[in-house]
Amino acid sequence: MLKSPLIHFFVIAFMLLGLQHLFKENVEVVNLSQADLENLSNKDSVNTSRKFLAAAIDELIDKKMLYREGLKLGVIQHDLVITDRMVKNVEFLSVEASEDNVSDADLMALFEEARKLQLFDNDPVIRRRVVQLMEQHIRQSQVIEKPSDAELTEYIRQHSSEFLLPTRWSYEQVFFDPTKHTGQLETVLANALLDLRNTEKEARRIGDNSLLPFHTTLATRTNMKLRFGDLFVTAVTDAPLDRWVGPVKSSFGFHFIRVKQVRRQKTAKLGDVYNRAFIGWLEAKRVSVYQHYMTQLRSRYRVRMEGETEDAIAVVNFSQSWVDSHQKM
């Protein structure tokens, strides 16, 4: 009898029904109103991308799920910001609560009253705070071991654009103050260039006295631009090695420049950017923990439009389904 195909059919059917019942017990439903989605659609009307609108809907659903999970964990009972907010909400309903001599016991009673009235459900400040606390909780819920140098080096390699050391120039400069050479400036500058290119003369002794350094080491484009301007930067970056060029005008006066060394842009070594690499690596790990948690959470939730009797839709399918149907209308 056990070999009968009909028996096998009923056994399999009952197993499937049991699994379906078990699955439904573990599924939770988030309700969205038409107003919620229309508001998002109007807010993002400038950006007509379906992908952009779907992402906004996904974010809204995520916040609703996180809010519900936060209530389950009891975050409203353990956060001073939320407690204070709820008490203030109840103060509008109680004359006694506005008095200055309210005891701690009275405040706790007000808090309990606010919780029973579910005042937090309609308070956007409390809802945002609960979501924020949940996001922090998720990111910090897993102990992350300190990374090895090899792991950080690999992180730098994978994010090399974030760890580029800029090109740097080491150069010498000779400065002339135009206010000291009225009527003779062109001649003075022309003679200075000849003297500078005469290797028998010491360059440091040519030019006017100033507080500007004769030798500058490993300056970046940004450094030079902030101090001397764009013309100076162009002169340095275009100059051949070990040859005097100029005169170059800046807000200070006129400069002759000789580039001695160029250190080209390169990816930083771990020792140069250890702290920044560690912070970036740690944040990437926390983001990964958060994304994994949210993936698991979305698998447990369904979405239903308020007022509709149709079966709830899986979270991962809802936003794109709604956008497709909405934009066809």
Alpha-carbon span 300 to 16, nearest angstrom: 19
Which comes out higher in pLDDT, residue 61 or 47? 61
Domain map (residue ranges) of the chain: 18-144+287-328, 167-264
Residue 168 pLDDT > 80: yes
Using an 8 Å Cβ cutoff, are 170 and 283 in contact?
no
Alpha-carbon span 207 to 214, nearest angstrom: 10
For the beta carbon of residue 100, count every other beta carbon within 10 angstroms: 4
Q: What is the pLDDT of residue 48?
A: 57
Residue 85 pLDDT > 90: no
Alpha-carbon span 17 to 22, nearest angstrom: 9
| Tens-digit pLDDT profile for residues 172-231 | 999 999 988 888 898 999 998 988 887 767 888 888 888 999 999 999 999 999 999 999
Q: What is the pLDDT of residue 9?
A: 40
- Domain spanning 167-264, CATH class: alpha beta
Which comes out higher in pLDDT, residue 262 or 103? 262
Which comes out higher in pLDDT, residue 207 or 309? 207
Residue 112 pLDDT > 70: no
Residue 22 pLDDT > 50: no
Q: What is the pLDDT of residue 52?
A: 81
- How long a stretch of residues is the chain? 329
Alpha-carbon span 232 to 250, nearest angstrom: 7
| Tens-digit pLDDT profile for residues 246-301 | 899 999 999 999 999 999 998 899 988 999 999 999 999 999 999 999 999 988 88
Q: What is the DSSP letter of 93?
A: T
Name the amino acid, one letter, at 177. Answer: D
Task: Say which range, 47-56, 57-66, 156-165, 186-195, has the weakest mean pLDDT.
Answer: 47-56
Alpha-carbon span 241 to 221, nearest angstrom: 17
Percent of the chain past pLDDT 90, that is, above it, reads 32
Give me the phi and psi of 163, to 5 degrees please. -125, 35
Q: What is the pLDDT of residue 234?
A: 94
Residue 39 pLDDT > 80: no
* pTM passes above 0.75: no
Q: What is the pLDDT of residue 106?
A: 62
Using an 8 Å Cβ cutoff, are 157 and 267 in contact?
yes
Q: What is the mean pLDDT of residues 161-165?
A: 89
Long-range interactions of 198-204: CB distance < 8 A, separation 24+: 203/172, 203/174, 203/244, 203/258, 204/174
Q: What is the pLDDT of residue 105?
A: 66
Rounded to the nearest integer, the mean pLDDT of the chain is: 80
Q: What is the pLDDT of residue 107?
A: 59
Q: What is the pLDDT of residue 44?
A: 54
Alpha-carbon span 56 to 44, nearest angstrom: 9
Confidence of residue 95 (pLDDT cuts 50, 70, 90): very low
255 Cβ neighbours under 8 A, 6+ residues apart: 173, 174, 175, 176, 228, 232, 235, 246, 247, 248, 249
Which comes out higher in pLDDT, residue 249 or 101? 249
Using an 8 Å Cβ cutoff, are 251 and 206 in contact?
no
The two structure tokens encoding residue 236 = 């340095």
Q: What is the pLDDT of residue 1?
A: 45
Residue 5, preceding peptide bond in cis (omega within 30° of 0): no
Degrees to nearest 5, angle at CA 30 with 25 and 36: 170
Which comes out higher in pLDDT, residue 44 or 192? 192
Q: What is the pLDDT of residue 35?
A: 80
Q: What is the mean pLDDT of residues 52-60?
A: 85
Which comes out higher in pLDDT, residue 202 or 311? 202
